[in-house]
Amino acid sequence: MRKQTKAIRTQTDQSQYREHSTPLFLTSSFTFESAEQGKALFDETEEGNIYSRFSNPNVTEFVDKVCMLEGADEGIATATGMAAVFASMASLLKSGDHIVACRALFGSAHQIITQILSKWGITYTYVDATATEAEWEKAIQPNTTRPAARMVYLETPSNPGLELVDLAMLVRLKEKYGFILNVDNCFATPILQTPIELGADLSVHSATKFMDGQGRVLGGIVVGRADLIQPIRFFARHTGPSLSPFNAWILSKSLETLDLRMERHCSNALKLAQALEQHPDVATVKYPFLPSHPQYELAKRQMSAGGAIVTLELDGGFERVKAFYDALQIPTLSSNLGDSRTIVTNPFTTTHAKLKPDEKAALGITEGLIRVSVGLEAIEDLIDDFTQAAEVSAEVTKEKVA
């Protein structure tokens, strides 16, 4: 069966009640049939549920589906996407280790690497997403101040700049140096890109985003090689960032429509990007499947479609952004993304506000940058709305300057 079919048909075993849809297992713990079974479950000679902090049928169903979609051996689900990111690092790195990361990262991931891991004696090096293979290799190699990289962590496409990293290139370096290749695949989803099938070791997601797709619940997941998931599971089991059964139930059901939703998201995003790129009141537009994207050819090789995120730059700084927001009628103003409803945010003042000015500049995060999470609305309505907002905000800005 194809992945799309498996995503719909994979579910927990049917109970004696013959339910068609997987029921909710809202229980904190599970019973033992005997003292012997309790012992066997705890010494792991028998598989089964003990406590919902460890495992739960709803969570297991969700993990199984994502592993199937990603082509992964095993996985562990967490309460949030950042919990998954942190667990994938903290469980596998120790004092004295070195992590190499793409400079273009979500703000919280940047804070984990620079503010939390660094307190434990874990050093880091940042590399530009567009760096050459030789530049990546130099950062990965040991020198007099640091050991060889234990892990390489990246987002592709990145948040919010939509920069791509060549996974095939990093897989070549991984085979040479033996580091763990850890990829945040949130923006692409397993529908558009499967890092593990391309040779990565781990794939991390904020399931809050496209996997849910309707802005309802929080969740995260990391999937990958069984030998790496084992210590991540140990870490999560004993530190407790567990995904709730209810959220897992929502996310598992949502995966049944992920393929269909991403098809519409990508179609809408491409058409909106094309329309805005031609608009005289929009300075620049960035989208992986626009030929104008500097890594367009890489995007076509690595992804099956361009995703749902479009970024646009407006001249006039934050004053222009405010006027643009005021003119918009359809989109939601929020720092979230991946919703069925179109969302806009200004990373300079929201998701990446805590970055230093030089860090923002290095990532191309300017006052006039707007990240658009393109939803499932009629594309004609979105194009009309963004077009009029660009025109109105341009006129308002001109009047204020005059």
Domain boundaries, the chain: 3-254, 257-399
For 44-90, write each residue's pLDDT tens digit: 999 999 999 999 999 999 999 999 999 999 999 999 999 999 999 99
pTM of the model: 0.95
The CATH fold assigned to 257-399 is: Aspartate Aminotransferase, domain 1 (3.90.1150)
Question: Using alpha carbons only, how large is the chain's radius of gyration in Å?
Answer: 22
- pLDDT for residue 15 is more than 70: yes
The DSSP code sequence of 219-280 is: -EEEEE-HHHHHHHHHHHHHH--BPPHHHHHHHHHHHTTHHHHHHHHHHHHHHHHHHHHT-T
- Residue 193 confidence (pLDDT): 98
3-state secondary structure of 120: helix
Quick check: 205 and 211 in contact, CB under 8 A? yes
Higher pLDDT, 248 or 365: 248
Quick check: 172 and 132 in contact, CB under 8 A? no
Q: What whole-number distance in Å separates Cα of residue 391 and Cα of residue 389?
A: 5
Report cis status (omega within 30 of 0) of the bond before 291. Answer: no
For 172-186, write each residue's pLDDT tens digit: 999 999 999 999 999
Q: What whole-number distance in Å separates Cα of residue 105 and Cα of residue 93?
A: 19
For 187-224, write each residue's pLDDT tens digit: 999 999 999 999 999 999 999 999 999 999 999 999 99
What is the average per-residue pLDDT within 143-162? 95
3-254 — its CATH code? 3.40.640.10
Q: What sign has the CA pseudo-torsion 48, 14, 72, 82?
A: negative
For 281-323, write each residue's pLDDT tens digit: 999 999 999 999 999 999 999 999 999 999 999 999 999 999 9
Nearest to 183 by CA among 109, 77, 263: 109
Q: What whole-number distance in Å separates Cα of residue 142 and Cα of residue 382?
A: 50
Angle at 156 between CA 150 and CA 160, to 5 degrees: 115
**Eight-class DSSP state of 29:** B
Tokens 């949030």, located at residue: 80
Nearest to 162 by CA among 291, 275, 288: 288
Given pLDDT bands bounded at 50, 70 and 90, which one contains residue 32?
very high
What sections of 278-337 are H helices per DSSP? 296-302, 317-327
Cβ neighbours for 374, distance < 8 A, ≥ 6 positions apart:
265, 268, 269, 272, 308, 309, 310, 342, 382
Torsion angles phi and psi, residue 32, rounded to 5: -110, 140
Q: What whole-number distance in Å separates Cα of residue 273 and Cα of residue 355?
A: 27
Given pLDDT bands bounded at 50, 70 and 90, which one contains residue 399?
low
**Eight-class DSSP state of 186:** T
- Residue 151 confidence (pLDDT): 98
What is the average per-residue pLDDT within 26-32? 96
